[in-house]
C-alpha cells in the first residue's frame, strides 16, 4: 500500500503515552495506516516526547477553545479516518462527535459499564476495582458519544485479580492487555470500513 492509500489516525492523549507508542509502532510495521497527528492537553506529557521522536506533529489544545470549537478546523486538515483516545482526560465536545460519527474510539481500563464515568481515569479506576475486591477486571474499547465512557462497546478483554493484587500490579496487567489489543482493534475497524 502506498503512502497516500494509508488510513489516517489522530491520537488524543494526556499522559505517558505507552498506548500511543504501541499504536505508532504497530502501524509502522503493518503499513495499513499511519498516525498523522498527536493532540495533547499537557505540555510535559510523555506522549509529546514520543511524538517528537517519531516525527509526528503535536497539536496542543487549550480547554476553552477545545470545548467551543473542538479544534475542528485544525483537525480536519489532517483528514482522519479514525480519532483514537489513548489516555485522554478531557470530555470530547459535541462538535467533534457530530463531525466524526462512529470515528472516535476510546480505551478504558475496566470492564464498562463498571468503573466508568467522570473522574474514573487511570489509577483511580484500579484503586476502585481493588478496593471492591473484584475477582476480574479488563479493558473496554468503545465508540465515543457525549457521555463519559458510554458509547457502544467494540471490544473487551479480561484479566484476573490475585488475592493480594494492588492498584499498581493491576495497572501492569491492564496495560499488557491494552498493548496487545488496542492497535489490532483499530486496524480491524479501519480495514472493515469502506
Ligand atoms: C490507559 O490505561 C487508558 O486505558 C487510561 O489511561 C491509561 C493511559 O496510559 N484511560 C482512561 O482511564 C480513560 N478513562 P498510557 O498514557 O500509558 O497510554
pLDDT of residue 76: 97
Grid cell locating 5: 492509500
Q: Please determine, for residue 13, whether its predicted confidence score (pLDDT) is greater than 70.
A: yes
pLDDT of residue 1: 55
CA distance 112 to 181: 16
* Ligand 1 atom closest to residue 174's alpha carbon, by position in its atom list: 2
109-125: pLDDT as tens digits: 999 999 999 889 999 99
DSSP conformation class of 61? -
pLDDT of residue 24: 98
| Cis? peptide before 113, omega within 30° of 0 | yes
- Return the closest-CA partner of residue 20 out of 42, 60, 41, 49: 49
124-166: pLDDT as tens digits: 999 999 999 999 999 999 999 988 898 999 999 999 999 999 9
Q: Please work out whether the CB of residue 157 comes within 6 Å of at least one atom of ligand 1.
A: no
* Ligand 1 atom closest to residue 108's alpha carbon, by position in its atom list: 4
160-182: pLDDT as tens digits: 999 999 999 999 999 999 999 99
> Which entry of 99, 108, 126, 150 is annotated as an active-site residue?
108
Tell me, yes or no, if 142 is annotated catalytic: no
Q: Please work out whether the CB of residue 23 comes within 6 Å of at least one atom of ligand 1.
A: no
Three-class SS state of 160: strand
CA distance 172 to 55: 28
pLDDT of residue 63: 98
pLDDT of residue 101: 92
Q: Please work out whether the CB of residue 105 comes within 6 Å of at least one atom of ligand 1.
A: no
pLDDT of residue 38: 98
Q: Please work out whether the CB of residue 138 comes within 6 Å of at least one atom of ligand 1.
A: no
pLDDT of residue 135: 98
Ligand 1: centre distance to CA 161 (Å): 19
- pTM for the predicted model, two decimal places: 0.96
Taken in order of first residue, the domains within the chain and their CATH numbers are: 3-193 (3.40.50.170)
* Ligand 1 atom closest to residue 22's alpha carbon, by position in its atom list: 18
Contacts of 26 (CB under 8 A, 6+ apart): 183, 184, 187
Amino acid at each position: 500500500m502506498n503512502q497516500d492509500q494509508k488510513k489516517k489516525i489522530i491520537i488524543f492523549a494526556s499522559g505517558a503515552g505507552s498506548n500511543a507508542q504501541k499504536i505508532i509502532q504497530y502501524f509502522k510495521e503493518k503499513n495499513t495506516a499511519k498516525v498523522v497527528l498527536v493532540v495533547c492537553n499537557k505540555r510535559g506529557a510523555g506522549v509529546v516526547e514520543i511524538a517528537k521522536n517519531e516525527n509526528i506533529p503535536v497539536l496542543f489544545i487549550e480547554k476553552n477553545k477545545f470545548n467551543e470549537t473542538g479544534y475542528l478546523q485544525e483537525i480536519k486538515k489532517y483528514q482522519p479516518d479514525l480519532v483514537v483516545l489513548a489516555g485522554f482526560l478531557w470530555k470530547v465536545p459535541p462538535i467533534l462527535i457530530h463531525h466524526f460519527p462512529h470515528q472516535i474510539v476510546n480505551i478504558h481500563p475496566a470492564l464498562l459499564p463498571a468503573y466508568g464515568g467522570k473522574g474514573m481515569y487511570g489509577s483511580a479506576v484500579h484503586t476502585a476495582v481493588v478496593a471492591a475486591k473484584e475477582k476480574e477486571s479488563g479493558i473496554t474499547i468503545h465508540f465515543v458519544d457525549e457521555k463519559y465512557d458510554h458509547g457502544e462497546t467494540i471490544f473487551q478483554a479480561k484479566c484476573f485479580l490475585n488475592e493480594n493484587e494492588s492498584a499498581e500490579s493491576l495497572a501492569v496487567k491492564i496495560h499488557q492487555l491494552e498493548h496487545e489489543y488496542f492497535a489490532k482493534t483499530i486496524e480491524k475497524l479501519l480495514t472493515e470500513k469502506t
